[in-house]
């Protein structure tokens, strides 16, 4: 037997693409940008791209992007990004050293945690959702995931962000549907941190802006992203090509297309504001060919997202990858199977900065508070899996095995007391009792336990309110937006 004194850590590892295969996809994406090009519906973006050196057909709103522009954008884009939070203890850094997790989706429905029924979401549902995310330790970034349908449509986006500001101390990920929408969100965030320059130094908000696959950049979303970039707010590019519908049926083709969309958005944002913080992302999946609908709970989805995560590492860009979604309609066995399948591959691959889409159900067409609590438990277990184990003299425990001997028991040994908390995971809501004990305790299934936890959080967890002077300033900003958007 080999003897050694050093301690090493054994990690479960997975990989998908070789360096040569990454080069092939990169080259294919450059060809798409140079030959096929993209449709850009923003006159502001077209003008910026033309000045940067892209070939622009103003009438057709069509742009082809030389590879030199892509290479320049990749060179100047930050490789590390700081995410601030209302409470600085929740600040985090995107530098490939640690995976962070984020809620996701923007549906108009929620699974009511009291009745179990799906219904239109309200401002109160949104506030409760954000408070639950604020409480859960494995949610690091809060996407205010349901749309308040009790608010007029033009105001929904801004009131969503303001509601999040009021109900979490963590970093908030949001979106803007227009340049003006982004400007109001920037003003509200700046009010919290003490001005726009402070916001630039420690942004408490990031912005998800999605290209429309294939290769289309809408005016409002694109100009909102440009406003955020100018303000130093991190922008997450989140292309969503669906293999077989808005992307090729082949996974390689869909990956090359989504990568081209990421690179095109990067060029736009670096052209409008050189050095702007941009996060490479993907919410790509496959299409359900029976219905044409988004189908994230599939093994192909896991392969696609692993490839995008590796491409982000290839470019040395911070990343946000959507994973852990499901196609199921309630928090059932299918939910656990699909979420664990996609999350396991993502976590074991490593190199991702943020994994997004916690709490979503039915391809994120609704949000489930119970599932968000279950996701927190799944992530805790998978983090333990990814941590691996240490291999050294103390860990091999040869002296302990000698002391206990054949037929003995290790439970009361001091070595066990010294190591079990660090080594062995103790879940919070999973049931590990015997059948008899489980039945005596009420035969609670995990969704019912999670529902009880949701009720407890909603009843007891209340993040500190915004200071009165900041609340007044934000209310004034909202009043101005209300007058402008509803006039």
Q: Give the integer Cα–Cα distance in Å for 125 and 117.
A: 13
341: confidence class by pLDDT, cuts 50, 70, 90 = confident
| 340 has pLDDT over 90 | no
pLDDT digits (tens, 9 = 90+) for 249-258: 999 999 999 9
Q: Give the integer Cα–Cα distance in Å for 121 and 163.
A: 13
Nearest to 351 by CA among 110, 15, 6: 15
Q: Give the integer Cα–Cα distance in Å for 446 and 372.
A: 12
pLDDT digits (tens, 9 = 90+) for 24-75: 999 999 999 999 999 999 999 999 999 999 999 999 999 999 999 999 999 9
The bridge status of strand 235-237 relative to strand 205-209 is parallel
| 350 has pLDDT over 80 | no
Mean pLDDT along residues 320-324: 91
pLDDT digits (tens, 9 = 90+) for 360-404: 988 888 999 999 999 999 999 999 888 899 999 999 999 999 999
Residue 16, token pair as written in the block:
């998908």
Q: At which residue do the structure tokens 């549907």 appear?
A: 177
Residue 324 pLDDT: 80
Q: Which residues of 228-245 are buried (b: 16+ CB within 10 A; e: fewer)?
A: bbbbbbbbbbbbbbbbbb
Q: Give the integer Cα–Cα distance in Å for 211 and 258.
A: 9
Nearest to 85 by CA among 189, 13, 12, 221: 189
Furthest CA-CA distance within the chain: 83
**Residue 170 near residue 134, CB atoms below 8 Å:** yes
Chain mean pLDDT for the chain: 94
Q: Give the integer Cα–Cα distance in Å for 160 and 81.
A: 24
Q: Which neighbouring-strand residues pair with 171?
A: 141
Q: Give the integer Cα–Cα distance in Å for 305 and 297.
A: 12
Residue 10 pLDDT: 82
Nearest to 273 by CA among 36, 45, 26: 45
**Residue 148 near residue 121, CB atoms below 8 Å:** yes
Mean pLDDT along residues 160-183: 97
3: confidence class by pLDDT, cuts 50, 70, 90 = low
Instruction: List Cα–Cα distances, 452 to 366, 440, 445, in angstroms.
Output: 20, 17, 11
| 88 has pLDDT over 50 | yes
Residue 466, token pair as written in the block:
């915004």
**Residue 238 near residue 322, CB atoms below 8 Å:** yes
- What domains are defined for the chain? 74-387 (3.20.20.480)
| 13 has pLDDT over 80 | no
pTM of the predicted model as reported, rounded to 2 decimal places: 0.94
| 96 has pLDDT over 70 | yes
| 4 has pLDDT over 80 | no
- What is the full DSSP assignment across 173-189? EE--SSHHHHHHHHHHH
Question: Among 257-261, 337-341, 416-420, 465-469, whose mean pLDDT is lowest?
Answer: 337-341
Residue 291 pLDDT: 82
| 1 has pLDDT over 50 | no
Phi, psi of 231 (to 5 degrees): -85, 0
């Amino acid at each position: 037997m080999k003897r050694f004194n050093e301690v090493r850590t054994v990690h479960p590892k997975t990989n998908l693409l070789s360096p040569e295969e990454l080069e092939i996809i990169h080259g294919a994406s450059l060809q798409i940008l140079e030959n096929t090009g993209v449709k850009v519906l923003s006159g502001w973006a077209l003008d910026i791209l033309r000045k940067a050196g892209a070939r622009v057909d103003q009438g057709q709103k069509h742009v082809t992007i030389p590879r030199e522009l892509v290479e320049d954008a990749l060179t100047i884009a930050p490789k590390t990004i700081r995410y601030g939070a209302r409470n600085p203890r929740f600040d985090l850094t995107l530098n490939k050293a640690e995976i962070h997790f984020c809620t996701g989706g923007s549906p108009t429905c929620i699974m009511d945690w009291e009745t179990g029924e799906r219904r239109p979401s309200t401002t109160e549902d949104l506030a409760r959702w954000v408070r639950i995310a604020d409480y859960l330790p494995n949610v690091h970034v809060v996407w205010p995931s349901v749309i308040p349908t009790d608010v007029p449509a033009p105001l929904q986006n801004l009131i969503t962000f303001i509601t999040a500001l009021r109900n979490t101390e963590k970093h908030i990920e949001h979106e803007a549907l227009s340049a003006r929408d982004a400007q109001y969100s920037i003003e509200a965030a700046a009010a919290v941190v003490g001005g726009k320059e402070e916001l630039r130094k420690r942004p408490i908000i990031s912005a998800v802006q999605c290209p429309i696959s294939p290769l289309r950049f809408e005016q409002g979303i694109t100009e909102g992203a440009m406003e955020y970039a100018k303000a130093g707010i991190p922008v997450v590019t989140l292309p969503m090509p669906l293999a077989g519908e808005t992307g090729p049926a082949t996974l390689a083709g869909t990956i090359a297309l989504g990568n081209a969309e990421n690179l095109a958005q990067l060029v736009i944002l670096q052209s409008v504001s050189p050095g702007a913080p941009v996060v490479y992302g993907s919410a790509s999946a496959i299409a359900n060919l029976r219905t044409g609908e988004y189908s994230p709970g599939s093994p192909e989805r896991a392969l696609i997202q692993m490839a995008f995560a590796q491409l982000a590492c290839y470019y040395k860009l911070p990343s946000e990858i959507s994973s852990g979604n499901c196609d199921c309609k309630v928090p059932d066995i299918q939910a656990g199977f699909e979420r664990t399948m996609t999350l396991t591959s993502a976590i074991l691959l490593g190199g991702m900065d943020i994994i997004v889409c916690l709490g979503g159900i039915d391809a994120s067409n609704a949000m489930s508070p119970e599932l968000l609590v279950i996701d927190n438990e799944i992530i805790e277990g998978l983090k333990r899996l990814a941590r691996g184990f240490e291999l050294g003299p103390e860990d091999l425990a040869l002296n302990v095995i000698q002391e206990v001997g054949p037929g003995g028991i290790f439970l009361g040994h001091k070595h066990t007391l010294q190591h079990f908390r660090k080594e062995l995971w103790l879940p919070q809501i999973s049931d590990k009792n015997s059948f008899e004990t489980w039945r005596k305790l009420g035969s609670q299934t995990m969704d019912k336990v999670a529902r009880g936890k949701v009720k407890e959080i909603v009843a007891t967890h209340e993040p500190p309110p915004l200071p009165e002077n900041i609340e007044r300033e934000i209310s004034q900003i909202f009043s101005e937006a209300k007058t402008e958007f509803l006039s």
